[in-house]
Amino acid sequence: MNNVLLELALATLVGFAVGLERERAKRTRDTGALGGVRTYALLGLLGGVAAVADVPGLVLVGLAVVGAMALWSLSRAPGATSEVAALVVYLLGVLAGEGQTTAALFGGLVTLGLLTYRERLHRWSAQIGEEVLEAAVLLALLWGVVWPLLPEAGYGPGGVLRPREVWLMVLLVAGANFAGYVFTRLWHERGLYAAALAGGLVSSTAVTMSMAARAREAPRAWRTWAAAAGLASVFMYLRVLAWVALFAPPLLGRVAPALGLWALANLAVCLGLARSGAAGADELKLKNPLGLTSALVFGALFAIVKLAAYAAEAWLGAMGVYVVAVLSGLHDLDAITLSLAQLFTQGSLEAGVAVQALLLATLVNNAVKSLLGYLGNPRMGAALALALLPGAAAAWAWLRYF
């Protein structure tokens, strides 16, 4: 009985919240002939009662009644938002009554957000433009159609080449390009930095590749692109420290000082670039939302590095750990960090070798990102290299005296 009461309360609460927004909107604009708080709260409760009663066909009868109300409202006033919201509230009430409380709460919050931020959403859609919609559809096709069709099995020596994994790298770069494009169109530098930080949670190298491509499109805003790439790298250090803390805690105290210095140096350079080089709207006009060429190049490099890393480990044995660290650092740090942590935990690798290999991979990864930045714009590459120097000195000292 208690569960039933909670489900009905949630169904009513969802309708009440949506009705409150509709009543507020009605005072400023025409939102249709449907009512406000009481009407929507009762519609949510109706859906909950129809589900709880468990009478065959009762949910469909209630849906038909709400649909008839929506049609009546449409005949009396223009617009369909309130009518669609009424149908959604009823169906969310049904979900709550059937015990799907999390889904009902999520749906209610999404509905409330879409209604509350109506004006802002309209402004955003006007700003985005047709090229963004076309790029979004293409990205969705590349992700939802092409990616699932690719084989997951490994090919080549040792089965290290996995088409689906390589294509995922392509999608990550294309997604970073798209996010940076959209957020830059909406919020200029602030949006770009937000997109870079989010992309840094996945692949800071992919973000740097994306920013380098943007630097070729709009070279006068090189400080902005460099700052965004540097911010993504800050998250890279935090990711590495998180993996070490989770899978090899004894190594954390040995790698944290060097990685911490690297992160602080990167952050300081990024803040300096962001403050000294605010780009104007004209300088941030981008032409290519997806940047598929740079994404495909990144995917090809990823595949080549995986093959080279496998060959080095097979031919060089123990010395291959350092070679693999260098090769892995060419594209990413997650794989080498997890591999070293697991080998250390299993007793197959000494702590000193693991720390040295990890710092070496980090050094190489930073150098690669500086080179990528240089290819986009020489001054961008120099700025990223400046962020690399303090960390490089710390890594050298660690490798020399550890």
Distances (CA, A) of 177 to 78, 201, 271, 280, 303: 40, 15, 22, 20, 20
Q: Are 177 and 213 within 8 A, CB to CB?
A: yes
Could you report the per-residue pLDDT of 73-107, keeping only the tens digit for each? 777 766 677 788 888 888 888 888 888 888 888 88
Could you report the per-residue pLDDT of 250-297, keeping only the tens digit for each? 888 888 887 887 788 778 887 887 776 554 444 445 455 566 776 777
Cα–Cα–Cα angle for 278, 279, 284, rounded to 5 degrees = 150
Mean pLDDT of the chain: 75
Mean pLDDT of 156-168: 76
The pLDDT assigned to 189 comes to: 55
Mean pLDDT of 8-32: 77
Query: What is the value of pTM for the model shown?
Result: 0.53
- Residue-range domain boundaries for the chain: 2-116, 129-401
Q: Give the separation between CA 40 and CA 16, rounded to whole angstroms.
A: 6
Tokens of 248: 């090899």
Mean pLDDT of 24-42: 72
Higher confidence at residue 162 or residue 30? 162
- Would the pLDDT of 359 be above 80? yes
Residue 278 is classified by DSSP as: P
User: Which residue from 188, 158, 192 is spatially nearest to 176, judged by alpha carbons?
Assistant: 192
Residue 146 is classified by DSSP as: I
